[in-house]
Amino acid sequence: MEKVAIINELYFEKRKTLSEIAEVINTSISYISKVLRSNEKYKDEKEKRKQENLQERRKKQKAIVYANRKSKVDIEYTNMRKQHDQSAKELSKHSVLGNDTLRKWCSSAYIYNKKKKRYEFDTSTLLKPADIPMYIGI
């Protein structure tokens, strides 16, 4: 009778699980379950614990979902922001091409003049834009 009282006290008052009680008393879980089933309060207590566990599980799942959602939004936003900043930098750069680079890009537009040792824009076949130099020295 002593074991029954200890099992009831551990389960109902100290709210231990069957496996925890089995460890303390050094008996099987099935024996503890058998003893508890004979108690009138066991069904109510079991249902109550079931509901509490369900609510706890739902809270944890909700927290995980919100944490994942928040981190996903933050990652997507930071990636988009980085891309935007990079594009803004690239588009706002005001760079001037050097004469050598310009000559290489427009290789068909410039003809080398050996006498003057410079590249001259070929006006016989092309119209020269205002922002491109007429002569490029070596």
Q: What is the pLDDT of residues 72-126, one digit of tens each?
A: 667 888 889 999 998 888 777 676 778 888 888 888 899 999 999 999 999 998 8
Which secondary-structure segment (H or E) carries 113? strand 110-113
Q: How many C-beta atoms surround the C-beta of residue 36 within 10 A?
A: 20
- pLDDT of residue 59 exceeding 90: yes
Q: Residue 137: what pLDDT? A: 85
Residues 82 and 68 in one domain: yes
Q: Residue 69: what pLDDT? A: 77
3-state secondary structure of 71: helix
pTM (two decimals): 0.46
CA distance 28 to 57: 27
Establish if 45 belongs to a structural domain: no
- Asked if residue 35 lies in contact with residue 3, where contact means CB atoms within 8 angstroms, the answer is yes
Residue 3, C-beta contacts closer than 8 angstroms, at least 6 positions apart: 25, 27, 35
Q: How confident is the model at residue 1 (pLDDT cuts 50, 70, 90)?
A: low
What total number of domains does the chain contain? 3
Residues 54 and 89 in one domain: yes
Share the mean pLDDT of the chain.
88
Q: Residue 71: what pLDDT? A: 66
Residues 75 and 109 in one domain: no
| Higher-scoring residue by pLDDT: 61, 98 | 61
For residue 11, the 8-state DSSP code is: I
